[in-house]
Every structure is written in C-alpha cells, then in structure tokens.
Amino acid sequence: MADILYDFGAGRSDPETFPKEALKEAAVRVIEREAEELTKYPGGLGHAGMRQAMARREAEREGVSVDPDHMILCNGSMQAVTLTAEALQEQRGDTVIVEEYSYPGTLSAYRSIGYDMVGVRLDEGGMRMDHLEETLERLSNEKRLPKFIYAISTYQNPTGFVMPKARRLEMIELARRYGVPIVEDNCYADVHYDGPIEPAIYALDDDPNHIYLCSLSKILAPGLRLGYILAKPPMLERFLARRNDAGSNTLAAAIVAEFYKDGIGAHAEVSNALLKEKRDLTLEMLDTHLADICVWSKPVGGLFIWVRMPDDVDRKKLYEDAQANGVNFLPGTAFHYQNRNKPFLRLAFGHLTKAQISEGLPVLARCLQAARGSNEPRTFEGLFE
C-alpha cells in the first residue's frame, strides 16, 4: 500500500494553531501552584478549575448560567459517550435512537455495550422530526421505548448540518411527550465559521433529562483527552455512581484551565479563521473537480464535508484506488448505524495543509471518475432525496 499523502479521513484541527508556548507557560505555573493536588486522585467530578473554565465556556456561548458542580470531567468525549450509555442502560438489547449517519466512535461504543440502535433519517436540518415522531410512536407501541435519543445537533458528524432552533424545540417536546432523555453531543460547537450560532438543547429547556456532552478535542487538541458531561441531579448522581476510574487527568485539566482562564474566545478566533480558509479551499476544489457528478454539504462550522456520489461508483474500487494513490477518506458505511454501504464519503480538512488539499482532491476526483460504471452526469440535486 502506498504512503498516505493526503489524509482526509482524520477529524483533527489545524496543528499550526496548537498554542505550544502558551501551554508551556501555563504548565509551569500549574505545577508550581498545584503540585500537591497532582498527588491526589481527582474524584468523580474532576479538577475544579477546569470545570469552572468549561462552565464559563458554555455560559458565554449559550447565554445561560452553568453550574460547574453539575459537570463531570472525562478522559475525552468518548468516555462521556460510553459512561452515559452504560448508566442509562438497564440490559443488553435496550433501544437507543441515533441519527441514520453518525459518529463511528459512538456507533461502535453502542454496539459493544449491546444497544439496539434505531436510526432516524437526516436532511439539511439534521435529524428529521417527522421521522423521529414516527419512530418514537412505533417503539412505544412495541413496548421498547429508547433509553435515550443521541443527537449531534450542531455541525453534525459526518454531514456538518446544523439543527435549527425550531427543530430543537420540536425534539424537546417529543422527548418530553414520550419520557425519553436527550443526549446532545456538542463537540464541534466552538468550531464556527459563518452565520448565527444555534442554542444548545440544554439552554432551551431546563429539563433534568437533558444530558450534554462536549470536548476540547476539536478546538484545542485530541491528545489532551479532555471532555465532559453536563447533567443535573438526579441524572448526575446516576453517572457518578457508574464511574469507577478515580477521575480524569488532573494535570491536563489544570493546564487547560490556566490557558483558558480568560475564556476560549481568543484562541478559537485564531484557529477558526485558519480552518475556515481550509473549508473554503476544499469546497472550491470540489466545485472545480466534481461538480458534474457529486453534491456535498457546505458546513458553517465543524471539520467535515459530506459528499454524495452517483450510485454507479464502485465504492470498493474507489477506496482501494484512492489508498494506492496516497489519498485517505472515510466511506459512508463507517457512519451508517447499520454499516450499510451507501454512496457517500466524508472529507476532513482541518489538519491538512492547503497544499495537501489542493493536490489531494484532484487525485481523489480522478479515482472517483475511474470507479464509475458510466460517464453520465449525476441525476440528483440534494444529499438526501
């Protein structure tokens, strides 16, 4: 297999924006000031300063008060995903509602835990509420209401779509009607480029059944392994009772808390400006090389672009040829809740250089053209029809 020169598969931010010097300075201050705390176990909630910094992050973005004592720090958002799922599960085979296309890590975790996933169709506004209502009614009649609804409502992975406020309110109403908690994964919330910022579900309604997951992987760095759960009692105690790892990384949390002591805005402004340029370049290259046969999302935030291909593309050949020519991407099957082989692929642009984007997408386009069974133009206009 050829070396991968153009990795459009990995969802990471721009390495150039990683604040090395500022974090080094923060680390020195933290070690001098909090050395004794580093010799202790952090406990279920985790480092108080980090929780206060993230409560400020949420409050400034959402315009609502956030209690840092309702926050559980986790070793990345995947621990938050898993801990939440385990705490809400009563037995293997319990049902959970997910978006038809969702984050592969979450889907893999739910499979391992033993959930029966039921997918809800997507459109350009995220999870479709008409199909969610139909699904909830059907599951209710079958006496197997889901333990929760999992939704990536802002800059959805893989599509990049944003759920409008009106639709979020519909979801809240449906969840309340059927007595089902909402687990909102908002890991991409601060990776924002254009337009208004839609409110998080927890900011629209104070129901204690709303559970919120977030992370620093996309705005700072995934290697820090810092994420969190925001939940109110009694749900909060349910998660703490399930936790058995003695808490999250105190040193990483303390350093990040020091770095973000004045808020995350300054760093986000720098990183998002560069990411926006890469998003724009990726869209430009797609338009130049694939406009006649593909359509794709135009995300206003996040790190991903979702591409629909013609049905006559041999997806196995496309992937193998792309890999042989040094291009990596994630195929649609990785995101489908039932692993179905659908004519989609996801492009991640955040960590690539502009040169890699400009050079790699024409290579991918040639591979895609070669994998087709015809030379006909596309017959579709939208991503989901």
Q: What's the CATH number where 177 sits?
A: 3.40.640.10
Same domain, 40 and 164: yes
Tokens of 369: 């053209």
Is residue 376 a part of any domain in this protein?
A: no
Same domain, 251 and 295: no
Instruction: Give CA–CA dist 361/48, Å, rounded.
Output: 45
Is residue 53 a part of any domain in this protein?
A: yes
Q: Are 79 and 100 in contact (CB under 8 A)?
A: no
Same domain, 216 and 282: no
Q: Domain of 311: which CATH number?
A: 3.90.1150.10
DSSP state of 383: S
Q: Are 141 and 329 in contact (CB under 8 A)?
A: no
Is residue 384 a part of any domain in this protein?
A: no
Given 203, 227, 262, the domain boundary residue is 262
- Which residue segment(s) compose the domain that 81 sits in? 20-262
Same domain, 187 and 207: yes
> What distance, in Å, lies between the first and last C-alpha atoms of the chain?
36
- Report how far apart, in Å, the C-alpha atoms of 270 and of each of 76, 250, 265 are: 23, 26, 9
Same domain, 307 and 258: no
Give how many domains the chain has, as a whole number.
Answer: 2
Is residue 377 a part of any domain in this protein?
A: no
Is residue 78 a part of any domain in this protein?
A: yes
Same domain, 34 and 157: yes
Tens-level pLDDT at each residue, the chain (385 residues)? 579 999 999 998 889 999 999 999 999 999 999 988 888 888 889 999 999 999 999 999 999 999 999 999 999 899 999 999 999 999 999 999 999 999 999 999 999 999 999 999 999 999 999 999 999 999 999 999 999 999 999 999 999 999 999 999 999 999 999 999 999 999 999 999 998 899 999 999 999 999 999 999 888 888 889 999 999 999 999 999 999 888 888 999 999 999 999 898 899 999 999 999 999 999 999 999 999 999 999 999 999 999 999 999 999 999 999 999 999 999 999 999 999 999 999 999 999 999 999 999 999 999 999 999 999 999 999 998 7
Instruction: Give CA–CA dist 237/243, Å, rounded.
Output: 10
Same domain, 252 and 327: no
Instruction: Indicate the pTM of the whole model.
Output: 0.95
Same domain, 69 and 109: yes
Is residue 76 a part of any domain in this protein?
A: yes
